[in-house]
Structure 1
């Protein structure tokens, strides 16, 4: 029965990827903003698709892609390296233009402002050169008046793209696509180095490389999260042996998108756990008062010379990247990071609560209540996920205990964030899907696939322009009335799963073993 179902995976993958590349290769549509003349970059197929056709094709692509991933999870063994298919996907991505949002036009605009001597953290695309610049004028609602909220390392890459692309928007975006596909390939390399065994490496290809939902949202969307994510995962790979180089990667991740700094907390927490496993710490009395517990959080690191040295090297490496990036960017980059907070998105579980409270509370009170509950939910969910991982030893395919702890902690924190944050978009899930393959399979794999496909569908076709009235009503209705409840179902399922799991029982000892134990005693 399983073998018969597994035969469906390849046709479903071909269908999903085929439809995604069809939409991405077609003329500008409700999923694809126009990029002007192609110049020396690849052009379009000359196929025009209406907003209804694009929506139907993407719904079929993401639905069939999710089914293919679920089938692949049944027996995810890496029988082949699939290098040819990886190269084909990379080549096809570079032969198409980004879709699913207009973020790549924002990136081009911010890079244009930076390379021409402006400050993208103060000047919006609409303000630059009076809105007449050939690159910045391409930014579409609602981002025309919004200065950059991305880190200075990302802005530097955007500036390089603009410098190479010149006055041609399509060429600028194509250079950015090269950065994205390089990061996607590098991520696969890093994950295969972290994963040990055919099954773990097979999960990498099922959940990361050949995941049409993730590929369509993240890679074909050309989102900066791919770049931030690969630096974060590289830091996890390097942390045990090369803390300084891990710090460089942490600095690059933070300077690309600040939320990816969560990896630093995962690494430091893993070093703390390594100290607590040392024989000199085992058996010590647990802290009792609140003050003792707070000191206990940092005492293992501060007391152990090796751990303290590793943390200092990590910080030194991170600052070596962060300091020059933020100095060159100027103080306005920090202002924009603060301005990015306090937002809501319609497809999150917090959205129904937000909309309901607005009828009975003032806006400031709604923001305070929802964000307080969201933070509490993140902390609680991260704790639950980490407890399940520890109880079932789900990271056991990672041989090194410190790397294992860093990976699982980072995964739990980042996953709790994207599931509970009031403002979360499908491409924010990069670390969740990058690190999930490194864990032993569990029922929450299917729960997360279910939740993610609904998040992806909530932002189909991806633009607010070029929508027919019927497609506009359908898109907003799905985003506001379906996706948030899929998020709630996923959260409840994860909690129920956590309540049901038990630590695996050890096999009963044989009679001879029991006799030897009695003899020793």
Structure 2
């Protein structure tokens, strides 16, 4: 049943203030990154201050999330997203790569074989928008997403503004799917739907990197959780609706995996849960049916789109081309490489390859262990899948702040203790502030420093005003009820 309880007046007032303070933080970020002439230090200072304001207000709302109706949280999410619809692409230029891959496919070239420079030419305006890291890189995404990018290229051509807007609308559709699925999945585990929405839907990483940054992880995660909900919905039904809903859910997760292949991990965990709960005869249907429906979906998208199966080859070749500085395995490689340079040795690339291989093995072992615990009913399948995505981030070769959304979406509906949820909220907050809104070493150092001073000063000022208001209210109370105080004092004298 939806949370429709009346919210106390004080809580409602606090949440309203936090809501609009968060909106102001988002608006400031959008404004200072809009291209108006400002020094880089000012852009970083004001942008990070806006980001920090949103993060702090999000954490503040988290204290009251369990008391809030689901519709109230939907309203907050919508208002926070609204300014970002008009923002420039934030924190990353990946959307320009999406445009290039769509144009390549629209021109009839193989986006899984050729990068933007080779297919469109180094002098192409589309290629020049792409980061130099990716100008020679084929598309690393599944055929479902490249088909969408190709469709957008057919509609918008090489118009950057229209392309960003259309891709952003696609990612917003993923956010809508997330909003639909989260409360339903949370109820299945006994978690408050409102808390799940606060932790996953209102998460600053969704705002910054899905709506603002236009990353296709938003579409992938939205499809994935919606598909998992359909599978679990079917598992709880009887009759003809059961296999139909399960098959529909597998198809939706299959589409998500054809955006980014990692989505298939969620299907593995719900599949293990279905296998465990099925009767012996039904287990054969699970073992054969789920992979068959998933494979049929993938073949239909790959063949039907005309893009073929080159994406499978491209996945293996692209993931390790750029060393992600956030990946723990890469950080160990950088450490060994730095020590090697002290002795005149160039060990960085070799060390990263070794640690990446070790990470892959450890990741597979962790995933297998989590699947076994799920089968043994030690873990809910949603929690198991969320932890499996966390293992991918810890042991994987590439980590970006928006990758946390893979695990946040599932852990938000399956973590059952406040402590675990606040740890996840803390990690989200740190990652939400990692990437700055502008570049330049000096600008970054000074900008983050000035933003910290600005935020701390504002918090101290607000606290001082709150204390002063409380003292004034106490003085008013004393002035309004002196007879009561006198009688109370007399009573104490008599008792003595």
Match of 2:355 among 343, 346, 370: 370
User: Are residues 352 and 85 of structure 1, via their aligned partners in 2, closer, same or farther at CA, if it must alter by over 3 Å?
Assistant: closer
Which residue matches 1:20? 26
- What does 1:38-437 align with in structure 2 at a 5 Å threshold? 47-77=36-66, 78-79=68-69, 81-82=71-72, 83-196=74-187, 200-240=192-232, 241=234, 242-275=245-278, 304-327=280-303, 328-342=306-320, 344-358=323-337, 359-360=339-340, 362-363=347-348, 365-375=350-360, 377-378=362-363, 405-437=380-412
Q: CA offset at residue 6 of structure 1?
A: 9.0
The answer as to whether partners of 2:85 and 2:212 remain within 8 angstroms in 1 is: no
User: Are residues 351 and 454 of structure 1, via their aligned partners in 2, closer, same or farther at CA, if it must alter by over 3 Å?
Assistant: farther
Which region of structure 1 is more displaced relative to structure 2, 433-442 or 220-229?
Answer: 433-442
Give the number of aligned pairs.
418
Partner Cα separation in structure 2 for residue 212 and residue 6 of structure 1: 21
SS at 2:163 equivalent: helix
The answer as to whether partners of 2:90 and 2:213 remain within 8 angstroms in 1 is: yes
Q: CA offset at residue 130 of structure 1?
A: 2.3
Q: Normalized per residue, which structure has more helix?
A: 2
Larger radius of gyration: 2
Which region of structure 1 is more displaced relative to structure 2, 381-390 or 13-22?
Answer: 381-390
Say what the alpha-carbon RMSD is for the aligned residues.
Answer: 3.4
Q: CA offset at residue 473 of structure 1?
A: 6.6
Deviations 1:406-431, CA, capped at 9 Å, x for gaps: 31221111122123323200111222
Deviations 1:344-364, CA, capped at 9 Å, x for gaps: 311233343111222348456
Which residue matches 1:446? 422
Which residue matches 1:468? 440
Which residue matches 2:475? none
Deviations 1:431-480, CA, capped at 9 Å, x for gaps: 22212221223322222222233333332236xxxx33413678999xxx
Partner Cα separation in structure 1 for residue 24 and residue 364 of structure 2: 40
Which region of structure 1 is more displaced relative to structure 2, 206-215 or 89-98?
Answer: 89-98
Which residue matches 1:455? 431
User: TM-score under structure 2 normalisation?
Assistant: 0.74
The answer as to whether partners of 1:245 and 1:314 remain within 8 angstroms in 2 is: no
Deviations 1:176-209, CA, capped at 9 Å, x for gaps: 1111111101210111222229962111331123
Partner Cα separation in structure 1 for residue 285 and residue 402 of structure 2: 35
Deviations 1:359-384, CA, capped at 9 Å, x for gaps: 34845641343124424554676689
The answer as to whether partners of 2:224 and 2:266 remain within 8 angstroms in 1 is: yes
The answer as to whether partners of 2:44 and 2:436 remain within 8 angstroms in 1 is: yes
The answer as to whether partners of 1:386 and 1:409 remain within 8 angstroms in 2 is: yes
SS at 1:438 equivalent: coil
Which residue matches 1:290? none
Q: CA offset at residue 385 of structure 1?
A: 7.9
The answer as to whether partners of 2:18 and 2:60 remain within 8 angstroms in 1 is: no
Which residue matches 2:238? none
